[in-house]
Chains A and B, each alone.
Chain A
Amino acid sequence: MTAAIEVEKLRCEFRVHTGLMSAEKRVVAVDDVTFSVPAGSVLGVVGESGCGKSTLARMILGLLKPTAGTVLVDGKRLFDLDRKARARLIQPVFQDPFASLNPRRSIKDIVALPLEAQGTFSRGEIGRRVGGILERVGLSAAMGERMPAQLSGGQRQRAAIARALVLEPRIVICDEPTSALDVSVQAQILNLLADLRRDLGLTYLFISHNLAVVEHVASEVAVMYLGRIVERNETDALFREPRHPYTQVLLESVLTPEPGKGVPDIGLGDAMPDPANIPPGCRFNPRCRIAVERCRHEAPTRMVRPPQGMVECHLA
């Protein structure tokens, strides 16, 4: 089977000015990231804010040029494709459907825009496709006439999904698609995304900070910390037997609805990860509860973990 997304040794650096007189600083947002997502599967990417997961998404979408490394989407290099071809291949769904929908256009017009931009669809064809996809995501024709402000959060996210799918792409990058929604609506949207994937044979890269959500939707999970993937494995294996201490802490932090268990002591100090100041050795060592001397000066190498995962830790 061909990989829908293939990422190799991907790196992204930003230059930031920290002050008027101080020298320019390099922030490595994504560092040596390699993975592939088989067609029809879902790779979940988890990590805290600032870990580089959205930067990774933007590079895969072709919105940001990597400093080094390659991205192949459906076997093609994104930067060899023009914008129209790229739009037919891969589409995003973002977190905040209010910020990502033009407030001055009707839902119907917003969903039609990707088709119009292609310049190859007739008016009748556009109307037919927009009607079809709106119905598919559960929005009535009457909803299509409304403006984004007249829709609830869940309906707006349905509209954003319709816009992403109207060109029938193969791959969808979902960046925190349900984080801004209420739980009952989140469940509706997750179920819709699952149905669409099955029916249309889509591949998702699913970015979320919510591990319970990722466990529900993803077939494989990658855990990011300060720009690197520190552990990756099949979802069941990763949740059953997390190897990296950071993955373990993330899993322990999930507050399941089980009364009487209290809030766990996850043993992290108040040192916060700072992408502008990545510590030497293992980048997780200042917060790690089992770090030893070696972790403070020697970066761990990637080790293979069955069934098809990897972990970067001296002690895993």
Chain B
Amino acid sequence: MSALLEVEELQVTFGGRTAAVRGASFRVEKGETHCLVGESGCGKSVTALAVMSLLARGGHRSAKRMSFAGTDLTSLSDREMARLRGNRMAMIFQEPMTSLNPAFTIGSQMAEVLTRHKGGSRAAALDRAAELMGRVGITAPGMRLGQFPHQLSGGLRQRVMIAMALMCDPELLIADEPTTALDVTVQAQILRLLATLKREFGLSILLITHDLGIVARVADHVSVMYAGEVVERATTAELFRAPQHPYTRGLLSCVPVPGRVQRDRPLGSIPGVVPAIGSGFTGCAFRSRCAHADETCAHAIPRRQAGNAHDYLCRLEPDWAELQPA
């Protein structure tokens, strides 16, 4: 397998002080779904925006390496990056209403993507739009093309966003919490659709989510983020079978699993909140919430191997499972 997107030691700071991403490294292989999972403020969305060169003003990124299909993203000018964005890499967001322009019809917004990147006639672009809307399961695409975003339900809007992202036949689709605003039934439909499209279009997907259920069901590889760092990386099966980082384990214990509910017992939970990380921070960012932390956690933390393509950032040796909290 070869990597479509390779990110090494990505750093993102805002205003030179707040470190949003601190040395995150991950690879998205061709044709696979890679999940960035973590809670709010862990830097997962900022990581995606940094890859797309879409950081808000005041945001600064640097990376040892950031390549997309062999192209060094850090060396591209804004103009070159704009040619790539929406074309070879496309992005969909959580709330489709805010990413669609309320003043233009669905058809004109979809057609613009194609005419802008690939040229050609508007009529041809509308044909392509209608075809893709059919592919993402929208019935009566002809009628939908003439409608405005507010006339569609949330699930339909997200389907439109996905169809729009596919207009230029991208290699990479970055999806930032694409189903968080949707009902569970619609969520299942959209995620199933993404899995089908991945297969049919040979897409690679970088999926950002806070939901471990989604990770388990759709991801091939997972990177768990905490306070701007990737604290654990593994294949999905491996991560759920043998999670190593105390944060990953804590997160898994917090999820109520249907059918395995013990109503009289409390759910697992992680005490405290994610700390604000300044630029001079050293050591493990999770140590203030970790039951296994000791004084060594304030110093540099080794990245340990726990198996094939499975590593994590912690002082503890692999399989410390029997270890009881101090």
Contacts and interface: CB of A to CB of B under 8 A. Distances in A.
B217 A250 contact: no
Given A154-B273, A260-B237, A270-B139, A253 B185 contact: yes
B72 interface: no
B188 interface: yes
A257 B255 contact: yes
Contact of B256 (A216, A235, A252): A216
A184 B290 CA distance: 13
B143 to A, nearest CB: 13
Interface stretch (A112-120, A186-194, A303-311): A186-194
B236 interface: yes
Contact of B258 (A184, A251, A268): A251
Interface string B242-283: 000000001111111111010100111111010000000000
Between B153, B210, B240, B256, the greatest number of chain A beta carbons within 10 A of the residue's beta carbon is seen for: B256
A254 interface: yes
A45 to B, nearest CB: 14
Interface stretch (A71-79, A167-175, A207-215): A207-215
Interface string B175-203: 00000000111111101100100000000
Given A184-B39, A187-B269, A258 B216 contact: yes
B284 interface: no
A270 B192 contact: no
A262 B217 contact: yes
B258 A239 contact: yes
A263 B218 contact: yes
A270 B240 CA distance: 32
A152 interface: yes
Nearest to A183: B254
B99 to A, nearest CB: 19
Contacts of A209: 183-184
Nearest to B240: A259
A185 interface: yes
A182 interface: yes
A261 interface: yes
Nearest to B269: A187
A266 B188 contact: yes
A255 interface: yes
Contacts of A210: 184
B29 to A, nearest CB: 17
A187 B267 contact: yes
Contacts of A184: 39, 250-251, 254, 269-270
B213 interface: yes
A183 B188 contact: no
A195 B241 CA distance: 31
B82 interface: no
B155 interface: yes
A291 interface: no
B205 to A, nearest CB: 13
B217 A259 contact: yes
Contacts of B236: 259
A262 B261 contact: no
A48 interface: yes
B162 interface: no
A26 to B, nearest CB: 21
B268 to A, nearest CB: 6
Contacts of B186: 48
A209 B268 CA distance: 21
A212 B237 contact: no
Nearest to A194: B266
A256 interface: yes
B195 A187 contact: no
A222 to B, nearest CB: 16
Contacts of A259: 216-217, 236-237, 239-241
B210 A255 contact: no
Nearest to B38: A182
A255 B39 contact: no
Contacts of B239: 259
Interface string A35-54: 00000000000001100000
Nearest to A274: B153
B237 A257 contact: no
Interface in B139-192: 139, 153-156, 159, 183-189, 191-192
A199 to B, nearest CB: 13
A183 B269 CA distance: 8
Given A187-B267, A212-B255, A272 B213 contact: no
Contacts of B210: 182-183
Contacts of B188: 252-253, 255, 263-264, 266
B59 interface: no
A212 B269 contact: no
Contact of A190 (B155, B218, B267): B267
Interface of A: 48-49, 152-155, 182-188, 190-191, 194-195, 209-213, 215-217, 219, 235, 239, 249-266, 268, 270, 272
16 contacts: A183-B39, A186-B254, A191-B267, A211-B258, A213-B256, A215-B256, A250-B184, A253-B184, A256-B259, A257-B215, A259-B240, A263-B188, A264-B188, A270-B139, A270-B155, A270-B159
Interface of B: 39-40, 137-139, 153-156, 159, 183-189, 191-192, 195, 210-218, 236-237, 239-241, 250-259, 261, 263, 266-271, 273
Given A185-B39, A188-B269, A262-B195, 8 more contacts: A185-B269, A187-B268, A191-B267, A209-B183, A216-B256, A255-B213, A257-B215, A259-B216
Closest 8 CB pairs of A and B: A255-B213, A187-B269, A182-B39, A184-B270, A187-B254, A187-B267, A48-B183, A253-B184
